[in-house]
Structure 1
């Protein structure tokens, strides 16, 4: 009986840890549209979100994730797991850069792309939910 209870406790502890890991401090969705955006088995989207803290010396990349997606997708939500700042930080320290590229599967040749880059303070970063790109 003790072994069964111990096993159940261990499973619940692991499940709780996985739940904690899955939570986001903030989520930013990158969405893309345009004449170049349509399903195609010969191409893929490569979407990236990078956040750089430019108020540190030297500047520090605090978040960087690139995701490879099929062309059936027109958005991707990035989960930022760690708190990057506190609301009292008023300087626009955080350079946010989002890029989406459509590439040929076999050659990696660029079909179209768009990029967004802007600096934000902490409050603006927290308020940033969606970034819209137009692939051309």
Structure 2
């Protein structure tokens, strides 16, 4: 008798619950972009994104000195989540700057809303690091 119960439970789980769970699951794709800061350069210094594509920036400072990531206008009107050991600074337009400590890492999760070319740079004295983010339709 117990073997029938085990078989019945197995069949119920296999045919009843599993398909419901599988059909309710939607995979969310995230476009990950790793931006390394090394020898006073952003690598890569040209980044292409698509409007509406969920994106995660992973900013990694490989230098022994402090750096900043200053994106101009990219996060205006966009919900974003910032994590890691960097120091984010916010303004009227959302995230305006992240200070990246030596060997530090910061992640920014967002979905670009508007197409355009958005420059980014390090605004610390003597640092001439620059790049561009291009968001396409």
TM-score, scaled to structure 1: 0.35
Q: Flag the structure with more relative contact order, 1 or 2, with Cα contacts below 8 A and sequence separation at least 6.
A: 1
Structure possessing the higher radius of gyration over alpha carbons: 2
